[in-house]
Amino acid sequence: MNYFTEVVLSGLTRGSIYALIALGYTMVYGIIELINFAHGEIYMIGAFTALILASVLTIFGFNTIAILFLAGIIAIVYSSMYGYTMEKVAYKPIRNSQRLSALISAIGMSMFLQNYVRIAQTSDFLPFPRIIPRFPWLSALPVSMSSSQFMIFSSTAVVMVLLTLLIKFTKIGKSMRAASQDKIMAKLLGVNVNKVISLTFIIGSATAALGGILISSYTGQINFYIGFLAGIKAFVAAVLGGIGSIPGAVLGSFVLGLTESFGAGYISSDYEDVFAFIILAVILIVKPAGILGKGQIEKV
Amino acid sequence: MTQRLNELRRSLLVSLWFMLLTFPIMVIRVNTITGTVRWRWTNLAVIGIGSFFISVVWRYAMQRKAGEAQAVGILSRVGERVGAGTKKIGAVLDIPKVRTRLVGGLLAAAVAYPFLNSMYHTNIMITALTYVVLGLGLNIIIGLGGMLHIGYAAFYAIGAYSYALLNMYFGINFWLALPIGAALAGLFSLLIGLPQLFGIDMRLQQTTVFVYFIMLAVVILTIFVVHRLENSRIGRQWVAMKEDYIACQAMGVSIAKAKLTALGIGAIWGGLVGVIFAARTTFINPASFTVWESVIILSTVVLGGMGSIPGVFVGALVLMLLPEYLRPFAQYRMLIFGALLVTMMVFRPSGFIKKRRKAYTITEAERQSVIKAELEDDGEVEE
């Protein structure tokens, strides 16, 4: 197993997780032009809920597969509920005021949720149970991939495909695209914009929670602060790819993940964040709207 | 009556929703080492009752905000009184004589502060004043220039590092480092904008008071400069740029130049305060200048009132002093703080003190005279 493939695999793993979180950022931005600072917190809450449920189910003596599915699904549902409630409480009432107010509200929400988990649970790192079972057939592959890595790749791929299908071919997807283009016109044509926005938050939160559960079982420990750091990185990825564009967020995430792991693997691990931000600065100078972002033409 | 019952029923539903929502995190506490689960049912009751009452008040406040609340109950009467009271205070503050006296009083209180209070309080105040200057600096970029900037702490860091390094390697003293740090921060900001302590031997107590006065002087200087800038040619260009990009260009303002000057002049204050910060703490590391720091500075500006100097002043003081004095509730202070930010933005998105635009109100007599003059003009043409 050579070093190069290892670095590539680690980069792709990071990229997949960033992509799962960045999707929520970019979808929300695409529809209401809000940088949802509290999005990382949803990811953290997803991981925490899964941890709590998995521990309880283990104590009650469930088997591994049942724990994986029950804890995973309930945690994703709960995170979606948090996302939905957050939008109703903190963003809906200020949808018509200036954009900075919504940003500050999001920052407040982020602080609130972090400290809520810290007080209700703990500020220490908690060991995350190994809820992903071992797949023995993985060792037959030419590259050595851990079962968590395999789960991360496959779930990210499935989520991407499902999301693309949802947005391209369903009625809900159509109304989402309509609302992101022109909210007033969409309303006039009978699209329930409030519902579309709620749905966007629900979908974004669900993918973030999935990311949270997967990365936590990969790294093996969590605390209340993991959401903030991951959220910032995923936000960078979303901007890199062109915020508002879904394929852009995925591409940006992989570019970021690979840059970080190559930088860390071949130059120095102390500077992995520096590489990430250098790439961001270079791409934004060349293409200010991001890799796949469309430049905005202002009309008078 | 049925309407009110309906409202209560909805609040009940909200409280049930929150009980469900917070269940796993608030109620279940697992000890993974001993493998035991603690069910904290009292927390569930607290959440249920708490969210019910908050929901009642929240709904009421929302209706009031929308202007559809009926004038019933004590709450609305209190609200009206407060509303009328703030208006009265606002009117009194507009009188120039009252204003000068108020500013004089504040200044006297500020000068007396370190002598009346302990070193602990003076130190807290220094931090708060630091954020006043940082807030005012960022205010130039956001409030006047209209550019969202979430990396302001970097300029602060540049100032701090330039003092630390200049002092360490070249022995340059505090006073000389102050302008150099500010200039460096200004220069670095231009770089970013392109793509788009003491030699004197003093005791600790004296040092604190000394730093306090430096900080106070810097605050006064900042307020003076920002106020003058606001009404200058550059300041008006910034505001024009913020309001309408295209119209501003059409009026012959160079957007690139206006943006860069706003960034540069805004960053100078970050650098300036960074030098003071480094000199005061005598120890800096990158952890002092995180994204979180930038976020806090941004919050002071928006919470206080974007573009408004007294607003940013009050915002920074509240934001820095409140968590400090909420220390008895140490565990909950950041929670309360976050909730406060959200509530503030929902009910008062323009901040504590809204920026007042220059406006001229035409009196009825003036209006009449204009109409009369116009009528006369028209008459002449017809003849």
Decide which of A77 and B237 is more confident. A77
Are B44 and B35 in contact by the 8 Å Cβ rule? The answer is: no
Q: Is the dihedral of CA B260, B262, B263, B267 positive or negative?
A: positive
Nearest CA in chain A to B37: A56
The distance of B21 to chain A (nearest Cα, Å) reads 7
Residues of A in contact with B146 (CB under 8 A): none
CA neighbor of B14 nearest in space, from A43, A84, A195: A84
Examine the pLDDT at A154 and tell me if it is beyond 70. Answer: yes
CA distance linking residue B287 with residue A210, whole number of Å = 30
Provide CB contacts within 8 A for A105, sequence distance 6+. A90, A91, A94, B341, B342, B345, B346
- pLDDT averaged over chain B? 77
Provide CB contacts within 8 A for B182, sequence distance 6+. B159, B268, B269, B271, B272, B275
Res B196: pLDDT: 46
Residue B179 neighbours by CB distance under 10 Å? 13
Instruction: Please give the DSSP secondary-structure letter assigned to residue A92.
Output: G
CA distance linking residue B149 with residue B141, whole number of Å = 7
Residues of A in contact with B346 (CB under 8 A): 90, 93-94, 105
The b-or-e profile of B112-149 (16+ CB within 10 A means b, else e) is ebbeeeeeeebbbbbbbbbbbbbbbbbbbbbbbbbbeb
The distance of A127 to chain B (nearest Cα, Å) reads 8
* B29-46 residue pLDDT tens: 887 777 788 888 888 999
* A245-256 residue pLDDT tens: 888 899 999 999
Residue B307: CA atoms inside 13 Å, Cβ hemisphere, count?
22
> Could you give the C-alpha distances from A251 to A177, A293, B7, in angstroms and in order?
20, 11, 47
CA distance linking residue A135 with residue A153, whole number of Å = 14
Examine the pLDDT at B199 and tell me if it is beyond 70. Answer: no
Res B340: pLDDT: 84
Task: Of A134-138, A293-297, B53-57, B257-261, give the lowest mean pLDDT range.
Answer: A293-297
Residues of B in contact with A85 (CB under 8 A): 17-18, 21
CA neighbor of B23 nearest in space, from A53, A259, A265: A53
When pLDDT is averaged across residues B19-34 and rounded to a whole number, the result is 85
- In chain B, which among 290-309 make CB contacts under 8 A with chain A? 291, 295, 298-299, 302-303, 306
Does B196 contact A232 at a Cβ distance shorter than 8 Å? no
| AA letter at B146 | G
Res B74: pLDDT: 55
Phi, psi (rounded to 5 degrees) for B248: -65, -45
The percentage of chain B sitting over the pLDDT mark of 70, rounded to a whole number, equals 79
Does B21 contact A94 at a Cβ distance shorter than 8 Å? no
Does A97 contact B349 at a Cβ distance shorter than 8 Å? yes
Res B291: pLDDT: 72
Examine the pLDDT at A153 and tell me if it is beyond 60. Answer: yes
CA distance linking residue A235 with residue A135, whole number of Å = 32
Q: At what angle do helices B119-139 and B291-304 cross, to 10 degrees?
A: 80
Nearest CA in chain A to B31: A55
Mutation to test the B interface, candidates A33, A35, A52, most B Cβ within 10 Å: A52
Examine the pLDDT at B225 and tell me if it is beyond 90. Answer: no
Res B203: pLDDT: 59
- In chain B, which among 34-53 make CB contacts under 8 A with chain A? 35-37, 43
> Could you give the C-alpha distances from B359 to B116, B226, B233, B362, in angstroms and in order?
41, 20, 18, 10
When pLDDT is averaged across residues B150-155 and rounded to a whole number, the result is 73
Tokens of A125: 């790192």
Decide which of B266 and A160 is more confident. A160
Residue in A85, A116, A127 nearest the CB of B32: A127
Res B359: pLDDT: 67
Confidence class for position B164, pLDDT limits 50, 70, 90 = confident
* B326-365 residue pLDDT tens: 777 767 777 887 888 888 888 887 777 777 766 677 778 8
Res B198: pLDDT: 43
Tokens of B208: 């604190």
Are A250 and A23 in contact by the 8 Å Cβ rule? The answer is: yes
Confidence class for position B383, pLDDT limits 50, 70, 90 = very low
* A27-42 residue pLDDT tens: 998 888 888 889 999 9
Instruction: Please give the DSSP secondary-structure letter assigned to residue A132.
Output: S
For chain A, the structural domain boundaries read: 3-286
Tokens of A196: 């579309």
Residues of B in contact with A298 (CB under 8 A): 245-246
Res A75: pLDDT: 94
- pLDDT averaged over chain A? 86
| AA letter at A71 | A
Nearest CA in chain B to A298: B246
For chain B, the structural domain boundaries read: 2-89, 107-347
Are A283 and A248 in contact by the 8 Å Cβ rule? The answer is: no
Residue in A55, A103, A298 nearest the CB of B32: A55
Examine the pLDDT at B288 and tell me if it is beyond 50. Answer: yes
Res A162: pLDDT: 92
Examine the pLDDT at A135 and tell me if it is beyond 50. Answer: yes
Examine the pLDDT at A264 and tell me if it is beyond 90. Answer: no
Residues of A in contact with B342 (CB under 8 A): 89-90, 105, 108-109, 112
Residue in A104, A120, A298 nearest the CB of B345: A104
Confidence class for position A82, pLDDT limits 50, 70, 90 = very high
Mutation to test the B interface, candidates A112, A118, A125, A225, most B Cβ within 10 Å: A112
The distance of A128 to chain B (nearest Cα, Å) reads 9
Examine the pLDDT at B220 and tell me if it is beyond 80. Answer: yes
The verdict on B286 touching A (C-beta cutoff 8 Å) is no
Mutation to test the A interface, candidates B18, B20, B22, B25, most A Cβ within 10 Å: B25
Does B25 contact A116 at a Cβ distance shorter than 8 Å? yes
Tokens of B121: 């309080």
Are A37 and A229 in contact by the 8 Å Cβ rule? The answer is: no
* B50-104 residue pLDDT tens: 999 999 888 888 888 777 545 455 555 666 666 666 666 766 666 777 778 888 8
- DSSP H/E element including A46: helix A39-59
* Planar angle of CA B130, B135, B140, nearest 5 degrees: 135
Decide which of A233 and B286 is more confident. A233
* A211-222 residue pLDDT tens: 999 888 888 888
ipTM: 0.86
Task: Quote helix, strand, coil % in chain A, to nearest 5.
Answer: 75, 0, 20
Q: What 3 state SS string does chain B have? A: CHHHHHHHHHHHHHHHHHHHHHHHHHHEEEECCCCEEEECHHHHHHHHHHHHHHHHHHHHHHHHHHCCCCCCHHHHHHHHHHHHHHHHHHHHHCCHHHHHHHHHHHHHHHHHHHHHCCHHHHHHHHHHHHHHHHHHHHHHHHHHCCCCCCCCHHHHHHHHHHHHHHHHHHCCCHHHHHHHHHHHHHHHHHHHHCCCCCCCCCCHHHHHHHHHHHHHHHHHHHHHHHHHHHCCHHHHHHHHHHHCHHHHHHCCCCHHHHHHHHHHHHHHHHHHHHHHHHHHHCCCCHHHCCHHHHHHHHHHHHHHCCCCHHHHHHHHHHHHHHHHHCHHHHHHHHHHHHHHHHHHHHHCCCCCCCCCCCCCCCCHHHHHHHHHHHHHHHHHHHC
CA distance linking residue B201 with residue B275, whole number of Å = 19
Res B243: pLDDT: 80
When pLDDT is averaged across residues A218-232 and rounded to a whole number, the result is 85
Burial class (CB in 10 A: 0-12, 13-18, 19+), B321: middle
- DSSP H/E element including A221: strand A221-222
* A168-211 residue pLDDT tens: 899 999 999 999 888 889 999 999 999 999 999 999 999 999 99
Confidence class for position A83, pLDDT limits 50, 70, 90 = very high
Does B21 contact A109 at a Cβ distance shorter than 8 Å? no
Q: What is the CATH number of domain A3-286?
A: 1.10.3470
Pairing of strands A221-222, B28-31: unpaired
